A and B are shown apart, each in its own frame.
Chain A
Amino acid sequence: MLAFFLAALLPWLYWDQGPDTAKAVKQAQIEQLYVPAGHEAVWKAEGFDARPLRAAQFVTVPAPGVQYRMDVASATSIPWVDANGWRFERGGRRRYYYVVDRGKATLAAAEAYAYGVEAVIRPDPQDLAPFARILAFLRGIGPVELPGLANVGIVDDGSAQTGEVMNLLARRNLMFHVVTAPDPRYDLNVQIGNDEYPKAEAANPAAFAAKIRQKLTDEKRLIRLFGSDVVLARLTGDDTQVRVHLINYSGRKVEGLRVRVRGEYGHGSLSVFELDKATLTDYSAADGGTEFTIPEMSVYAIVDLKK
């Protein structure tokens, strides 16, 4: 059961290069992969657990990343982040397929893993090595089967408008769950179209997300990030522990990220992709929150907090 669980959570490689590349794939220590339908036998003969990719079984998602708007010189402008977390929250346990350009394979893998979705990633062939490295990293982390944490419930009417609101909530690290009806377990329920959240207001999703933040209040936010506007978070946890997934969409190192998590946790541990001996600094648990600094992070960091 554990092995299945592991296999289900780790992203899969889609490899459409010829079998002459089998040696390179083996050297990357990748044993399971998707290949073009009809090619699986060849790859199986090479010793791989090869499966045919049938596109209809997957939801294709856009490549994640950041669009810097260098022509806009305003100090307060923040880059546009292309992220799929809101799609995963909305879409539930589907299977997802990424096609990503060079340099984005690790980001796609981190994103899929953070949201616990089954994903297949077609990297640029030159990214085989970094893709293999992040798989090794994720294997080393080990799964913790914890539910996603959120304190905003958003009633999904299936519209693109609601989808964009979800996107911007995720962009602001406002943790939400998709619900079918308002649920008192959440600090805030959002149903677009009712008196409190008119559709006309949702037409400006940025302002609408700001309104939701204001209504929730920053004090009640489950997580806040300081020092980067290109890192998005996902939280999983229960009464005794929280796992904080931090995904850096920028493609550049983040030098210092201050994190505040709601709730006081006595101990924290940090794992950062491609950074050995990473430790949390300036740790404190007081006043209803836990704060720490991640001194440096690459594309992905995981923080485990325990009471």
Chain B
Amino acid sequence: MERRAFLQAAASVPVALAAELHQDLPHYRIVSRFPLSEHPGMPGPYPGKVARVHAEKSIDAQSEKVDVPTVRDMISQGMRALTGDADSRDSWARIFTASDVVGIKVNCSGAPGIMSTPEVVGEIARNLGLVGVKPEQIWIYERFRDQVDSVHYDRYVPAGVHIWTAEHSRGAIRGYDPNTYAEVNFFGEDDTRSNLARPVSEQFTKIINVPNMKDHGAAGVTGCLKNIAYGSFSNVARSHSGSKTNTYSFIGTLASVEPLRSRTVLQIMDGLRGVWHGGPFSPNRKFRFYPKQMMFGTDPVAIDRLLLDVIDDKRKAEHAISVWDRSTSNVKPGHGYDNNPSINRFIREPGHIEYASTLGLGVYDLKKIQATKIEI
């Protein structure tokens, strides 16, 4: 069987299951030369397992100053809780070897207000170094150069670590692999392809996903799944038009594309800061909050399932409408959504996380998620 046909056939079964959840799914055609791995990174060796670390000292809510020793401790304890090792170096060595070329998928869409915290990314790079991964084998990556430039990761990571962005100018496709893409026509757009970032398919052997805890006007929340999916492919904003968004199925579909699925081996949810309304951007500090926690796992669905409650609980506390509110009467684009948590811009699709579970990306059922809570 031809590789392309193989991948499409493999994808068809879970899509059929997912159709029970949502009937009018777009038709996706996945083109990739990479076979489905026997042991894909998502959900990886720890499906349904989440190590959740909270540290009051991790960030000062007033100054937003990050306490690096505390972050170091959070990462150490989180990794050990995930893998069961006594030494965090052993935890990292379970997943990474000195020969790996590691991509760190940061999230900078809300920068400079919120982003994968540079101190967290610096600690991740340091831990990779402890297991022999040289700085030159580490690539921080994101789609948009202007956003990443505002963060200055170079000040927090060892010299030699690469900082790579796919689009130096918005819409440029040179940074994407022309032979690995998802093709779908959502709204009659002419460019129906979303291509995978080149280094994901051509350079990286492994990827660490470092999303933030954020509300999202289209997807409901944006966590592991959306960061790795929409953050690794081109031409994804076309999935929203009017009040309709196709994030429900597109996020999980993209996250499932090989080799992204196989190579994404570690999820580190950076929840030092969070955004409870207006995400993924954060122009307005009044919608930022400080969960002061991090979550560790290999299962993006399980972590995102917990994220849903973090964001929704905060919205409830702030008397905002729920992330689950899909009533069309509350969808009021152009009515100051960015500054009004009582309305929606799109019909939100928080169900994208459950949909991703039907694609085999992880465990959605709270009863089956093993969350270990650690307080520092």
Interface positions of A (Cβ within 8 A of B): 74-76, 78, 172-173, 210, 213, 218, 224-229, 252-258, 282, 284, 291, 293, 295-296
Contacts and interface: CB of A to CB of B under 8 A. Distances in A.
B38 interface: no
Contacts of B171: 227-228, 255
Given A76-B189, A173-B190, A255 B168 contact: yes
Interface in B162-215: 168-169, 171-176, 178-179, 185, 187-193, 195
Contacts of B185: 218
Interface string B91-106: 0000000000000000
A229 B238 contact: no
Given A75-B240, A227-B171, A293 B190 contact: no
A172 B185 CA distance: 14
Categorize the interface residue count of chain B. Answer: 20 to 34
A229 B190 contact: yes
Contacts of A228: 171, 191
A229 B191 contact: yes
A295 B234 CA distance: 16
Contacts of A78: 189-190
Contacts of B237: 75-76
A229 B173 CA distance: 12
Interface of B is mostly: loop
Question: 3 closest A-B pairs (Cβ-Cβ)?
Answer: A75-B237, A255-B172, A227-B173
A210 B191 contact: no
Contact of B178 (A74, A75, A291): A291
A225 B193 CA distance: 10
A76 B187 CA distance: 9
Instruction: Tell which of A210, A228, A255 has the most Cβ of chain B within 10 Å.
Output: A255
Nearest to A230: B171
B327 interface: no
Nearest to B190: A172
A237 B97 CA distance: 54
Contacts of B241: 74, 76
Nearest to A293: B178
Contacts of A254: 172
B233 to A, nearest CB: 13
A252 B178 CA distance: 22
Given A76-B240, A255-B168, A226 B189 contact: no
A218 B191 contact: no
13 contacts: A76-B237, A76-B240, A76-B241, A210-B188, A227-B172, A227-B191, A227-B235, A228-B191, A252-B169, A253-B169, A254-B172, A258-B193, A296-B174
A74 B237 CA distance: 9
A75 B193 CA distance: 15
A258 B234 CA distance: 13
A229 to B, nearest CB: 7
Nearest to B4: A287
A255 to B, nearest CB: 3
B165 to A, nearest CB: 12
Contacts of A218: 185, 192
Contacts of B195: 226
A252 B374 CA distance: 52
Interface in B146-176: 168-169, 171-176
Nearest to A228: B171
A175 to B, nearest CB: 14
Contacts of A252: 169
Given A76-B240, A227-B171, A255-B169, 7 more contacts: A76-B238, A228-B191, A253-B169, A255-B172, A255-B174, A257-B173, A258-B193
A292 to B, nearest CB: 9
Interface string B356-373: 000000000000000000
A200 to B, nearest CB: 19
A155 B193 CA distance: 32
Contact of B173 (A173, A224, A253, A255): A255
Given A74-B241, A75-B240, A76-B240, A256 B172 contact: yes
A289 to B, nearest CB: 12
Nearest to A74: B241
Contacts of A296: 174
A75 B188 contact: no
Contacts of B178: 258, 282, 291, 293
A247 to B, nearest CB: 16
B206 to A, nearest CB: 25
Contacts of A210: 188
Instruction: Tell which of A78, A218, A254, A258 has the most Cβ of chain B within 10 Å.
Output: A258
Contacts of B234: 227
Contacts of A226: 173, 191-193, 195, 235
A126 B178 CA distance: 40
Nearest to A224: B190
Contacts of A295: 174
A75 B217 CA distance: 13
B191 to A, nearest CB: 5
Nearest to B241: A76
